[in-house]
Amino acid sequence: MRILYYIYQICIALPILVILTIITALVTTIGSLLGGAHIWGYYPGKIWSRLICIFLLISVKVYGRENLHKQTSYVFVPNHQGAFDIFLIYGYLGRNFKWMMKKSLRKIPLVGKACQSAGHIFVERSGPKRVLGSIHKAKSSLINGVSLVVFPEGARTFTGHMGYFKKGAFQLADDLQLPVVPVTIDGSFEILPRTGKWIHRYRMILTIHEPILPKSKGLENIRATMNEAYKAVESAMPEKYKGMVRNEDQD
């Protein structure tokens, strides 16, 4: 059965997905340049992500959407299991948002340009001041329910466990006094781990936890929110992946 799935993904699914990716990147870029990046930067990517899951026969379950309010902007902080985290969040979170991503992703042909046109935020990782400078560029986007998605680990896991959380996303949430929403991704690691070469069919689960409201402002609030968010994300992970494992390229 696994061999048949490999043949299917090579001969049928992947060629279709390459075409869909090119079309989505072009539509996003052109639509955003003509105006309305708020629309063109989100909906084409949402459709693209859902189609990828459908064509690869991957089932998805979502829990916790009722925890969110439509007109509220949030900072979402999911764990980073693998490449399929992108499709799960883009396709199924159900909120218009901007990604915060590594600057190196801008170099990906078509996709990098589409992300730039859509208003996603590229982060400099060469030093704390540049990181914070990139983060503050996000402020003007986080209005009228438009939210931000940040992987606070900064890199995909090698083991399925979470690494430590960096404070950038929590600093931004503290500055703007925005609620932080912990999000647990389960299943993406089994589909395509960081060191994997083949896509494996496996279900994905997206758990949206209750927002963590700012209780004060400053370093104490940032640390408390980070700790609470980490515990919430970890609580919905399988037992075999609980417990922090330091990721060698987080620094």
DSSP states of 208-236: EPPPB---SSSHHHHHHHHHHHHHHHHHT
Sort 158 into a burial class: Cβ within 10 Å, 0-12 / 13-18 / 19+. Answer: middle
pLDDT of 131: 54
Longest dimension (CA), the chain: 55
φ, ψ at 113 (rounded to 5°):
-65, -40
pTM of the predicted structure, to 2 decimals: 0.91
Q: Minimal CA–CA distance to 173: which of 80, 73, 78? A: 73
Which stretches of the chain are DSSP H helices?
A: 2-8, 14-34, 37-40, 43-55, 85-92, 111-118, 128-136, 168-176, 188-191, 219-235
**Fold adopted by 2-241:** Glycerol-3-phosphate (1)-acyltransferase (3.40.1130)
- Region 11-23 average pLDDT: 95
Q: Minimal CA–CA distance to 80: which of 98, 108, 56, 99? A: 99
Instruction: Read off the pLDDT of residues 185-200 as tens digits, 9 standing for 90 and up.
Output: 999 999 999 988 899 9
pLDDT of 108: 82
Rounded CA gap, 36 and 44, in Å? 12
Instruction: Read off the pLDDT of residues 88-136 as tens digits, 9 standing for 90 and up.
Output: 999 999 999 988 877 777 778 888 888 888 888 877 654 455 556 655 6
For the chain, percent of residues with pLDDT exceeding 70: 92
pLDDT of 22: 96
pLDDT of 49: 97
Instruction: Please give the C-alpha separations between residue 142 and each of 123, 147, 181, in angstroms, as whole numbers.
Output: 16, 5, 14
